[in-house]
Structure 1
Amino acid sequence: MKDVLIITNYFPPETGAASNRIFHLAEGLQRHSFKVSVLTPLPNYPKGKVFEGYRGRFKHTSKENNIITHRLWIYASNSKNKFLRLFAMLSYSFSLIWFFAWNKIPKTVIIQSPPLLVAFTSVFFLRSKKRKLILNVSDLWPLAALELGALKKNFSYRMLEKIERFNYKHADLILGQSEEILSHVKSMFSKKETLLYRNYPDFKAPIPKHAINTSEKLKIVYAGLLGIAQGIFKLCEQLDYSNIQFHIYGAGPEQNTIENLIKNKPELDIVYHGEVSREELHHVLIKYDITIIPLINRIYGSVPSKIFEYARLGIPMLYFGGGEGEHLIEKYELGWIAESSNYADLNFKISKIEPSKLQSENRVKIQNSSNKFFNFNTQLQQLTKHI
């Protein structure tokens, strides 16, 4: 049985795409007879506070489904202050260095990136001719931060670019969740071994059963992080509510702003449901007519994992984010595309949605496409050949 260590910034009981992605990877490798251990901070995302039951600890080790999970100390923060966020990342990096010094590290290590500094710490201290380092790149940093307006092209940005190159250079295999990520890596290191490894879900989905009542408003749902990149607050302001009702699930920086908007403008047909577990969310989402996947800006290399999650559930999607995600929605006939950042086009596309495209027959078609083209086990088997 081959030992594999996964180093990640996110892991259950934390919620979100990053946590789900690594959890499925760990479970999948364990089912394929790998001995898996996970190195992660004490759970704190997205609230920026260490969860109850883990506070006051420097390290917490548990074994769940035969996966050994080491949770290390972190200065938890979701502050908008750049220095506090940097200190939070550095604190976990210091914990990793401590762990590397006092523990035997397996010969195969999978490292999640971003965060860039955490990946750099792992690559810098673990690189060895006797060890295989696999870098799992889900977003292109610092490029994504530049496109989001979080960074400017200055000395700090150039330093992060050097760190990015260092990570790619010393990784033995790079997994990218999009074709754009792999192209970016190849533009730097043309001979680097890469593998497309998307965030496909791994759960049993019910057979879609849905009938839309054409006399009622179209029920659109968003579920996920209420962050700056998603732009849900602006979406709430810009939607035309003549024939739609907008439902929101999730938490994040924009939560209070959205709740205040609903309170101050009751004429907007918005319903905020708060945060629910992923399992509960799956049962809830299939009741809605369509789901929306927005991004405030098109981010090169980013493909929202919601595409694969919702396809597995058979839910028609309205994609509003640009980039490679548009190609997937169009190629596999998963729903509709509105021009990124064009709210007039978004409202127009919503007004033209045909009820026949929302019924069970079309949902089964979407789910069948997911089973064929977004199959987690098929993808995992391909990965195990490289480990």
Structure 2
Amino acid sequence: MKLLIVSQYFWPETFAINGLVDLLGEQGIDVTVLTGKPNYPDGDVFLGYRALGTSREHYGLAEVIRVPISPRGKKAAWRLALNYISFIASGVTLGPWLLRGRQFDAVFVYAPSPILQVIPAVLLARLHRAPLVVWVQDLWPQSLSATGHIKNRLVLKAVEWLVRQIYRSADRLLVQSRAFVQPVAELTADPSKIHYFPNLGPRNAVVSYGTERAIELARLLSGSFTVVFAGNLGSAQALDTIVDAAKLLRPHASIKVALIGSGSLDDWLKEQRILHGLDNLYLPGRFDPSDMPTIFGAAAALLVTLKPDPTFDLTIPSKVQAYLAAGRPIVAALDGEGAKVIEESKAGLCTPAGDATALASSILRLARMPITEREEMARAGRNYFVAHFDPDILIGELKTHLTQTIAKFGDRA
């Protein structure tokens, strides 16, 4: 099978699509990736790349073709909008030329925000007479409204119309949460093409290795009861809830909170730490994904939070799978599907989204819990991961989705 993957984000940026490409290659699938120049999350093009021009390289067994992109910059809405538009424009104008003469059995889109990155894939699928499969990671336009990026109703309606066209053009829609099925179905005339396909967890989540920097951080974390949050530090993650919980936990000197990662709220977090004297709040910055097993292994518990919003209630944050795989207790402040997974797995303690007091109480309760109970939570989480999110099983399911879509498309041709 020859598969074209279209994704605005790809290695060396840290996204789930990287591991998926590795697994597809192991399945004997010939993968070509059309992507932009790496610049997420800091907004600057990575060292060794430049924003202009096209380039070709290899990632494992896959060929990677990169188109020009306007870097997202830092905190400027117009820069972010230009970043999105530039990938669409480059994909539509340069993609057909860069992929000329190629044959593909299917086109696959990894579609976190923005869903509009599917637009070049729609054109490429038609040009190459191949079916289009879209893996929906975020709900648009709902997520735009939930994060507060766009509030104008006319703009949201225009985005909704575009999303309808994208869903209509897809031959199969994969959704990362079962709760996505209904809102996606409302924007497509054929709900039968919607299928649940969750995010894959990491294979090596319980292996202990990492860089010297990660090992040093692990030593620091293991010196106290440290709760670790890892990932994007942005508005959707309800970081104010974590900061408020850290304030409440100050009297408990042995309890620390570490936020691993970077994002739009980096500066705000640093200001809050200084303003409120939060010596119990660590901000060590971003680490390579290969460092996460070392860091997670040193954590007393792993933390996940989301803003209280009906749209976020439908989402399972991808870090939930990674946390379950790591075999560490989880403490959470979120609602909906993410909370359901943690409760069903018996992997930890879950409190309502946005409730800092309840979150602080859960962390304190976990710290006072006998270690045998925490270890039981960790084992339960790992077992749930193996049963529901094992990448070696899920990659077989994805291959089946692709094969079925190709066969159905061939029948119509």
Offset at residue 357 of structure 1 (A): 5.6
Secondary structure of the equivalent of 1:297?
Answer: coil
Q: Is the 8 A contact 1:139 1:301 kept in 2?
A: no
> What is the distance in 1 between the residues matched to 2:181 and 2:48?
39
**What does 1:178-189 align with in structure 2 at a 5 Å threshold?**
178-188=177-187, 189=189
Partner Cα separation in structure 2 for residue 191 and residue 265 of structure 1: 50
Q: CA deviation at 1:190?
A: 4.3
Between stretches 124-133 and 295-304, larger displacement belongs to: 124-133
Distance 1:5 1:235, change over 3 A: same
1:322 aligns with 2:335: yes
Which of 347, 355, 370 matches 2:360?
347
Deviations 1:126-149 (A, max 9, x none): 336931100110010111111222
Equivalent residue, structure 1, for 2:227: 220
Residue 377 (structure 1) aligns with: 392
Q: Within 5 Å, give how 1:48-87 maps onto structure 2.
A: 48-55=43-50, 57-87=52-82
The partner residue of 1:109 within 99, 104, 107 is 107
Contact 1:110-1:135 within 8 A present in 2 as well: yes
Task: Give the total of aligned pairs.
Answer: 375
Work out which of the residue numbers 24, 47, 51 in structure 1 matches 2:42. 47
Identify the range of structure 1 (257-266 vs 220-229) with the bigger mean alpha-carbon deviation.
Answer: 257-266
Contact 1:123 1:133 survives alignment (8 Å): yes
* Structure-1 separation of matches of 2:348 and 2:73: 34
Per-residue CA deviations over 1:328-362 (Å, capped at 9, x if unaligned) read 11111111111111222222222332233664444
The aligned residue for residue 25 of structure 2 is 30
- Measured on the aligned residues, the alpha-carbon RMSD in Å equals 2.2
Cα deviation, 1:3-37, whole Å, max 9, x if unaligned, reads: 1010001111112xxx2x11122111111111001
Distance in 1, Cα, partners of 2:325 & 2:313: 24
Which ranges in structure 1 are unaligned for 5 or more consecutive residues? Answer: 209-215
Q: In the TM superposition, what are the counterparts of 1:1-387 in structure 2 within 5 Å?
A: 2-15=1-14, 19=15, 21-55=16-50, 57-102=52-97, 103-104=99-100, 106-113=104-111, 114-124=113-123, 126-127=125-126, 130-188=129-187, 189-206=189-206, 218-239=225-246, 240-241=248-249, 242-243=251-252, 244-298=255-309, 299-353=312-366, 354-356=369-371, 359-387=374-402
Q: 1:71 to 1:207 in 2, by over 3 A?
A: closer
Seen in structure 2, the aligned counterparts of structure 1 residues 267 and 256 have a Cα distance that, compared at 3 Å, is closer
Cα deviation, residue 54, structure 1: 0.4
2:218 match: none
Which sits farther off after the overlay, 149-158 or 228-237? 228-237
CA distance 1:237–1:362, shift in 2 (3 Å): closer
- Per-residue CA shift, 1:301-352, capped at 9, x if unaligned? 3210111101111011111121200111111111111111122222222233
Deviation at 1:374, TM superposition (A): 1.4
Is there any run of 5+ residues in structure 2 with no aligned partner, and where?
209-222, 403-413
* CA distance in structure 2 between the aligned counterparts of 1:360 and 1:300, rounded to whole angstroms: 28
In 2 relative to 1, CA 120–57 (structure 1 residues): closer, same or farther, beyond 3 Å? closer
**Contact between 1:175 and 1:195, CA under 8 Å: does it hold in 2?**
yes
Q: 1:217 to 1:62 in 2, by over 3 A?
A: closer
The answer as to whether partners of 2:260 and 2:283 remain within 8 angstroms in 1 is yes
Q: Is the 8 A contact 2:348 2:377 kept in 1?
A: no
Residue 213 (structure 1) aligns with: none
Alignment-derived partner of residue 217 in structure 2: none
- 1:162-199 CA distances to partner (integer Å, 9 max, x unpaired)? 11111111100011000111222223434431221111
Task: Quote how far apart the aligned CAs of 1:233 are.
Answer: 4.4
Report the alpha carbon displacement of residue 363 of structure 1 after superposing the two structures with TM: 2.1
Alignment check: 8 A CA contact 2:245 2:359 kept: no
Whole-angstrom distance in 1 between the partners of 2:85 and 2:27: 34
- Shift in CA distance, 136/295, structure 1 to aligned 2, threshold 3 Å: same
Query: The residue matched to 1:385 in structure 2 has which SS?
Result: helix
TM-score by length of 2: 0.85
Letter in structure 2 aligned against 1:184: P
CA contact under 8 A between 1:289 and 1:358: conserved in structure 2? no
| Aligned residue identity for 2:129 | K
Residue type of the alignment partner of 1:96: G
1: CA distance between counterparts of 2:313 and 2:232?
19
Measure the CA separation in 1 of the matches of 2:81 and 2:331.
35
Q: Deviations over 1:75-104 (max 9, x none)?
A: 002443333222211111111112333123
Q: Deviations over 1:202-250 (max 9, x none)?
A: 3223379xxxxxxx85321111111111132452134322332111211
**Residues 286-307 of structure 1: CA deviation (Å, up to 9, x unaligned):** 1111111011233143210111
Q: 2:75–2:264: 8 Å Cα contact kept in structure 1?
A: no
How far apart are the structure 1 equivalents of 2:180 and 2:376? Answer: 34
Residue 212 (structure 1) aligns with: none
CA contact (8 A) 1:127 1:170 kept: no
